[in-house]
Structures are given as structure tokens and as C-alpha cells.
Amino acid sequence: MPMLKTRLITATPLVAAVLGLVWLAPSAVLAGLFWLLALVSAWEWARLGGASRPWQQGLFVMLLGGLLGVAWVGQVASLTGWQLPGLLWWLAIFLLLIAQSRRKTPLILPRWVLLSAGLITLGLAWLGLVAVASKAQGAFWLTALFVLVWGADIGAYFIGRRFGRHALAARLSPGKTWEGVAGGLGLGLLLMLGWAAWGANVFAIDLSLSWLMPVSVMVIVSAVMGDLAESLLKRQANSKDSGWILPGHGGVLDRVDALLAAAPVMAAALVGLA
């Protein structure tokens, strides 16, 4: 309970600040904030990925920052060519997670593989967040993304603690259970239905259940994949947390891991949606 209290004390003002910015800040400002978030995450990723020296971590951060800057100038997030490679990238990670979870001894990935994967993964997450924010009613869609990810996280935490018996991927993340995933899926879908109903009332956003439910399930499942992918990275580094910036939560990467996969999946789902 003390840890839960610490988490709530840290998370409450952060959630309020994030939602306030989502609804009040222009999409260009949000892109800049997501850029800063990506750079902090890159610093943590570099350390976990084997860049032990500060200058190596700084170089990694600058490289990602430069690549995202080029992507911003080229308006890559608004294009429709990056989503499919992004989905294929996460399919490859999914296969890697399955392979790793079945191995008795974990496969140790080379440093260059981990760092290259960080550039791609963080880059895709930034593109996804910017693409969602740039949609018509972008604030609604960004909040929908957060509702799904945060709702699933909360549901998985409480249901998993109370009813969790069957490990999801014991060799990657011993604390995660299938019961927790089911609880997260249920709460995430329930909250999303409420959010969609509010959007239909206020913004006249008409979403059919035949589109909303499969997309919501895919986003929640991808959020679990993002979480497990970061767990794999931490296993490679033999580290419990990605950092120490957020009391009770660890590092920034520990809080945005689910968004690493969920954001590009959400962006891909919104392609062609008015």
C-alpha cells in the first residue's frame, strides 16, 4: 500500500498535466513535448542498451533528436507510408518476445541491436503520437489512446494482484498474469465505450462498434507488447527500472512503455478515418 500511495501521488498531477496539455496546447507544441519525452526515454534506453558512458548516452539522445527533427520538418507523421513498416516492426518484436519467453536461458542481444531497436521504437512512438494529435479532433483521439492504455494498466494491476495465477511471460516479467491482461482488457474496453459515447454526444463523432471494439482490443494488446518489450530490455541490462525520475514508478520509459507500441497502432487504425 505505501508503494501504491507513492504511485498515486506521483501519477495524479502528471495525468492532470498531460490531459491539460492535450486539450489546450496546439499540435505543434504537443509534437515538441513528445520530442522531449522521447529524448528522456532515449537517455534511459541508451543506458539499458549498453551505452554505459555519459558521452555515449548523449550521442544516442542527440541522434534520435536529430532524426525526429528531420521527420518533423518533412512532416513524416502526416504521411501514410510509415504505418505498415511500423506494424511489421512490432510483429517482429512480438515474435522475438515469444522466442525469448520460451528459452530457458535468455538470448543476450548485442549492444548495437538494442540501440538500433531503440531508435526505431522511439521514433515510431513519436510518429504515432504526433499523427494521432494531428488528426481532426486530435485531443479526443489522444485521450482515447490514453484511456485505453491507462485503463488497461489499472485493470491489469488490480485484477492481477487479486486474481493473478497464470504467468503471462514468466521469463520476461514474472509479475504479469493472464488474469491481469483480461482485467486490463475489460476495464480498458469499458472506459473506451464511455469515452466514445461522450465523444458522440459532444463532438458528433460517430464510431461503429464494429470498428471501435477491434481497434480498442488491438491497442490494448499492443500496449501489453510494449510493456513486455521494455521488460526484455531491462532483463538484458539486469535492471529492475529504467530510471529513477518518477518516485514509485521508476523512469520515464517505465511509464511510457505501453505507448511505444500502442501509439503507432492507434495511428495506423486512424488512417483514412475522417
What residue type is 118 in one-letter code?
G
From residue 17, give the alpha-carbon distance in Å to each of 21, 24, 48, 182, 213.
Answer: 6, 10, 28, 29, 28
> pLDDT value at position 43?
96
Q: What is the band of 3 on the pLDDT scale with cuts at 50, 70, 90?
A: low
Residue 106 lies in a domain: yes
- Distance, C-alpha 207 to centroid of its chain: 23
- The domain total for the chain is 1
C-beta of residue 82 within 8 angstroms of C-beta of residue 51: no
The model's pLDDT over 182-222, given as tens digits with 9 standing for 90+, comes to 999 999 999 999 999 999 888 888 888 999 999 999 999 99
Of the chain, the percentage scoring pLDDT greater than 90 comes to: 69
**Residue span of the structural domain in which 83 resides:** 2-269
| pLDDT tens readout for residues 104-152 | 777 889 999 999 999 999 999 999 999 999 998 999 999 999 999 999 9
Positive/negative CA dihedral, 27, 17, 39, 226: negative
> Which single residue is written with the C-alpha cell 490531459?
19
140-167 pLDDT per residue, tens:
999 999 999 999 999 999 999 999 999 9
The model carries a pTM of 0.92
Q: What is the pLDDT of residue 237?
A: 86
170, 139 Cβ separation under 8 angstroms: no
Determine contact, residues 84/148, Cβ cutoff 8 Å: no
Closest CA to 158 of 135, 139, 179: 179
Q: Quote the mean pLDDT of the chain.
A: 91
Element spanning 174, H or E = strand 173-177
Q: Is the pLDDT of residue 249 over 60?
A: no
Q: With respect to residue 236, please indicate whether it lies within any of the assigned structural domains.
A: yes
Say if CB 259 and CB 144 are below 8 A apart. Answer: no
Beta bridge partners of 246: 250
**Domain contains 247:** yes
In the DSSP assignment, the letter for residue 114 is: H
Q: Of 109, 110, 116, whose CA–CA distance to 64 is shortest? A: 116
Cell, residue 139: 485531443
In a domain, residue 78? The reply is yes
- Say if 173 falls within a structural domain: yes
**246 pLDDT more than 70:** no
pLDDT confidence of residue 66 = 97
Q: In this structure, is residue 274 part of a structural domain? A: no
pLDDT at 233 over 80: yes
The model's pLDDT over 55-112, given as tens digits with 9 standing for 90+, comes to 999 999 999 999 999 999 998 988 888 999 999 999 999 999 999 988 877 788 999 9
Which residues on adjacent β-strands are paired with residue 169? 173
Alpha-carbon distances, residue 190 vs 108, 210, 211, 240 (angstroms): 39, 15, 15, 31
SS3 250: strand
